[in-house]
Amino acid sequence: MRLSHLSLLDLSHNGELALETRGRSFKGLQDSLLELHLCNTSLGSTPELLLPALRTLRLAQNHIQDIPVEVARSLNSLQQLDVSYNQLRVCPLSKLSTTT
């Protein structure tokens, strides 16, 4: 089954969710996925996401300690980010520059 038109994917509450490395977890959804929910999935780090169209990312209730600048920069269309109830020490989003 092809899911190339999927715009919302909720994988929340999936215990020990294992994602592929180098952004391969959501291959084929790069242009369509607008909203991704990964809340309460025991993530220990921010997943590498190659999803340029993504507008909403929910990572609440995990064990994330930081968001690498490279990950933050790859989310060009991001409008909403929920990282509540994590163990964040630094969030680089304020360091990203925007160009008009």
Mean pLDDT by 10 residues, the chain (100 residues): 83 88 83 96 90 95 89 87 90 55
Residue 30 sits in which domain range? 1-100
Burial group, residue 45, by CB count within 10 angstroms (0-12, 13-18, 19+) = middle
Structural domains counted in the chain? 1
Residue 74: the pLDDT is 83
Total residues found in the chain within this entry: 100
Q: Spell out a b/e string for 1-21, using b for 16 or more CB atoms within 10 Å of the CB, else e.
A: eeeeeeeebeebeeeebebee
Predicted pLDDT at 24 = 82
pTM metric for this prediction: 0.85
Give the CATH number for residue 82. 3.80.10.10
